[in-house]
Amino acid sequence: MFIPRPRSVLAFFLSFGSFLVSAQSCSFTLKGTVIDEHDRTPLPFAEVFLLEVAKGAVADEQGRYTVAGLCAGPYTMRITHLGCEPVVRQVDVRSDLELDVRLEHHAHELQEFEVARNRPDENVGQASDAIDKEAIERAAGLTLGEMLATFPGVTVLASGPTIAKPVIHGLSGSRILVLNQGIRQEDQQWGSEHAPSLDPLTSERITVVKGAAAVQYGSDALGGVVITEPVELPRDTGMQGEVRAQGVLNGRGGGGHGMLQGGVKGLKGSGWRVQGSGRYLGDSRSSRYVLSNTGVRELGASAALGYRDHRWIATAYYSYFARELGILRTSHIGNLTDLNAAIASSEPWYVSDPTYGIASPRQEVQHHMAKAEVGYAVSDRGRVQVTYGYQADDRQEYDIRRGGRSNIPALDLFLITHTGEAVWKHWLGQRLHGKAGVNGLHQENFNRPGTGVSPLIPNYRKQSAGVFVLEHLPLSEQWELEFGARWESTLLHVAKYDLSGILINPEHTFRNHAFSMGANWALNDSLRIRFNINSAYRPPHVSELYSEGLHHGAAAIETGDEHLGSEGSWKAVLELEGSSGEGRSTFQVTTYADRIHDFIYLLPVGQQLTVRGAFPVFQYTATNAWLLGLDARFGQRIARDWVWELRASTVRARDIEKDEWLFQMPSDRLENMVLFEFPSQGRWSAMEAGLTSTLVFQQRRIPAGVDFASPPATYHLVGCQVSAARTSGRRQWRVGLRGANLFNTAYRDYLDRFRYYADARGIDLTIWVSCTFGAPRTE
């Protein structure tokens, strides 16, 4: 029987404090008029938005806007108007404030407003979170999945210390769509140990949409969307840049990142950017032993070039990302007896001295992405935008093989993907505005010969096409609505050999549709309700239909089912967000219910001995499921310089057909953070230090008699973070320290597929430093 530690109990009772804070209204108002900079005429229907509180207004026919219910404090205003350059302005609200804004207006330019999270016409009613440039900087050295795990409702599906994939509201893998620079990431994401092949440092903002978003983004957005947002290219001449570096204790390695950007002299409206990054780590350690063969090598580079004038927008982008990583050596076992012994043991059967070398089993991945985008303003109330994307994903997975063949890949896949999209962004009348478009995908997967083993998944060709419409309607200052629909068809052509060695070519056709409706209701100055109900779909991946053999990266044998059909989902999300005490207390509570029919998952069905060792066996199967959950965040400024935040999440998932719990769902989590903000001292600013506490409860809601081992016990981790900034001329330096598992706790996580064999990572410390330099020059 688990008895919580005293500090865990204290954290639990402190979580109720935010419920007891008495509500007080934030009653300040920001208002004014948006006008043309040249002739001082009003600009009707301009959008004014405050990024920190996700709150804004649409100006009336006379350009007048009003944003009510503001708490005292600094805000970042973003003002946009169709045909104008957007303006970002800092304001400090201490009382009612009137502020007129002048925009550079062009009669025929519709400024692009894609991707930014905090806009009234994006994901109305959807629960979402985002991390900005500073938070990405503080998370230096973490993977994309680990960065996002700080959000309530987002956890990580891991395969040892080297691989992490985001889990949103209990769903992961092919149900989570990753948008990389506006292009859907296609990199064999079906594998539980296939982490996204992208560099998160190429973005200054990463957004998580925690809900089905199939209408806007198509299939694979059934569970949620991760958006690494493009950074706007500079338009002024003059060199600007940034350098970052970090050192990591656990793994005795580190990494770096560099960026240069500027405008093109003599060609107004043009800009460029180049970036590069790398990461190099040796074997990780748990609290008690070395996690052998868990080194990581990463290398990334990107380049972008763009042009924009009153009517045209054009962008070209290319990125390269390479990763080599080791697979935990102790997860590969020679016989069934040793496999059972390894699962039953608290110590791994294989431990060696720490090294930077990476041996088999291991993975090598190279991912290329190219994007071309052109936008044209057909009028001051409409723009057409066309985007093309090309991706090539080259993956090799190496196993421990006899006869000196360990350097021959056991899995050698090459995936080519072409995507295209044409979107019309428009205003219809005074209020109704949105987008409509068509998009398509052509994808081919090849198994390179010479591996000496049967392919885990077959060769295939996938083609899909869809059409969608998404409209936004502000009814008043209190109400805004969003509604949309999508239809999509997918064709899958497969080439494989049957059990008799005869080449067969099965084909599958999937036709699906999706609907969504969202509402945003401001009850009063400090309380807002968001509601969204939508349907979503996901055709089965070829891996779920035709997997057949050892998936060495997962250290498991996986078997598909060619009779599986498309998953379908109806999900409702209700979010309550507000503040009290003039902004000193904040809260956000999200509840959701997700009904999924033909829910596909990997079910443990036994063990099997092969010529390459003994492995657990998993079968892809489908059922009907209910997922219910709650995410919560509460914040309290307990003193002038002290901030406390509580984050909690829980999910309950049931197999309706079998009337039992679903396998491999996230455990309940409770996280606390206490942050002290130091006052500025001379050139030093943004100084802060914090402690974090993460309590993850044992997952007791599991199907009976299915798993190979009992779920790991409840564990509690303590972390820390310290950071500061210093300005020196045209340079700004930022330094920081991040600590994880400071008490070196031995633990295993339920969503780590290698929990059967070894503990998770022990204590870790990361030191990071960054420097931004240069400033734009106006020609």
Residue 23's pLDDT band, with cuts at 50, 70 and 90, is very low
Q: Distance between CA 188 and CA 444 in Å, rounded?
A: 11
Residue 334's pLDDT band, with cuts at 50, 70 and 90, is low
pLDDT value of residue 778: 45
Q: Output the CA torsion 456→458→461→462 (10° steps).
A: -50
Residue 309 lies in a domain: yes
Cis peptide bond prior to 361, omega within 30° of 0:
yes
pLDDT value of residue 93: 85
Strands 556-559 and 613-637: parallel
pLDDT value of residue 116: 28
Which residue stretches of 508-578 are H helix? 542-546
pLDDT tens-digit readout, 439-481: 999 999 999 998 888 888 999 999 999 999 999 888 887 888 9
pLDDT value of residue 659: 94
Is there a single domain that holds both residue 236 and residue 109?
no
Q: Output the CA torsion 555→561→566→570 (10° steps).
A: -60
Number of domains in the chain: 2
Residue 145 lies in a domain: no
Residue 146 lies in a domain: no
Q: Are 264 and 160 in contact (CB under 8 A)?
A: no
pLDDT value of residue 12: 39
The gap from C-alpha 251 to its chain's centroid, in whole angstroms, comes to: 24
Is there a single domain that holds both residue 102 and residue 245?
no
Q: Are 620 and 559 in contact (CB under 8 A)?
A: yes
pLDDT value of residue 395: 95
pLDDT value of residue 107: 38
Per-residue pLDDT at 702 exceeds 70: yes
Cβ-in-10-Å burial (0-12, 13-18, 19+) of 507 comes to: exposed
Q: What is the DSSP string of 184-216?
A: E--S-TTSTT----S-GGG-SEEEEE-S--HHH
Sorted by sequence, the CB contacts under 8 Å of residue 624 that are 6+ apart come out as: 595, 596, 597, 598, 599, 655, 656, 657
Q: Distance between CA 303 and CA 767 in Å, rounded?
A: 28
- The span from the first CA to the last CA of the chain, in angstroms, equals 71
Q: Distance between CA 703 and CA 656 in Å, rounded?
A: 12
Residue 457 lies in a domain: yes
Residue 270 lies in a domain: yes
Select from 113, 131, 157 the last residue of a domain: 113
> In the predicted model, what is the mean pLDDT of residues 567-579?
93
The parent domain of residue 605 ranges over 225-774
Q: Output the CA torsion 660→665→668→670 (10° steps).
A: -170
What is the number of other CB atoms lying within 10 angstroms of the CB of residue 347? Answer: 12
Q: Where are the beta strands (DSSP E) in 429-554?
A: 432-447, 459-474, 479-497, 503-504, 507-524, 527-538, 548-551
% of the chain surpassing 90 pLDDT: 50
pLDDT tens-digit readout, 190-234: 777 788 888 888 888 898 888 777 788 888 888 889 998 878 888
Residue 335's pLDDT band, with cuts at 50, 70 and 90, is low
Strands 205-209 and 128-132: antiparallel
Q: Secondary structure of 66-111 in the HEC alphabet?
A: EEEEECCEEEEEEEECCCECCEEEEEEECCCEECCEEECECCCCCC
Per-residue pLDDT at 17 exceeds 50: no
Q: Which DSSP category does 51 fall into? A: G
pTM: 0.82
**Domain holding 700: CATH number?**
2.40.170.20
Q: Are 135 and 220 in contact (CB under 8 A)?
A: no
Partnered with residue 58 across adjacent β-strands are: 47
Question: 53 or 772, which is more confident?
Answer: 772
Q: How does the average pLDDT of the chain come out, rounded?
A: 86
pLDDT value of residue 749: 96
Select from 83, 113, 143 the last residue of a domain: 113
Question: Helix or strand or coil: residue 725?
Answer: strand
Per-residue pLDDT at 318 exceeds 90: yes
pLDDT value of residue 553: 60
> In the predicted model, what is the mean pLDDT of residues 714-719?
97
Sorted by sequence, the CB contacts under 8 Å of residue 563 that are 6+ apart come out as: none
Buried b (16+ CB within 10 A) or exposed e, 366-390: bbbbebebebebeebbbbbbebebe
Residue 128's pLDDT band, with cuts at 50, 70 and 90, is confident
pLDDT value of residue 150: 87
Q: Distance between CA 231 and CA 203 in Å, rounded?
A: 6
% of the chain surpassing 70 pLDDT: 91
Q: Distance between CA 286 and CA 744 in Å, rounded?
A: 8
Using CA atoms, how far residue 648 sits from 369, 405, 747, in Å, is 36, 48, 20
Q: Are 770 and 243 in contact (CB under 8 A)?
A: yes
Cβ-in-10-Å burial (0-12, 13-18, 19+) of 19 comes to: exposed
Residue 198 lies in a domain: no
pLDDT tens-digit readout, 648-694: 999 999 999 999 999 889 999 999 999 999 998 888 988 999 999 99
> In the predicted model, what is the mean pLDDT of residues 293-321?
93
Residue 551 lies in a domain: yes
**Domain holding 101: CATH number?**
2.60.40.1120
Compute the radius of gyration of the chain from its Cα atoms: 26
pLDDT tens-digit readout, 380-416: 788 999 999 999 999 999 988 877 888 899 889 999 9
pLDDT tens-digit readout, 250-261: 999 999 999 999
Cβ-in-10-Å burial (0-12, 13-18, 19+) of 293 comes to: buried
Q: Are 71 and 65 in contact (CB under 8 A)?
A: no
Select from 74, 95, 113 the last residue of a domain: 113
pLDDT value of residue 11: 41
Residue 53's pLDDT band, with cuts at 50, 70 and 90, is confident
Per-residue pLDDT at 768 exceeds 60: yes
Residue 162 lies in a domain: no
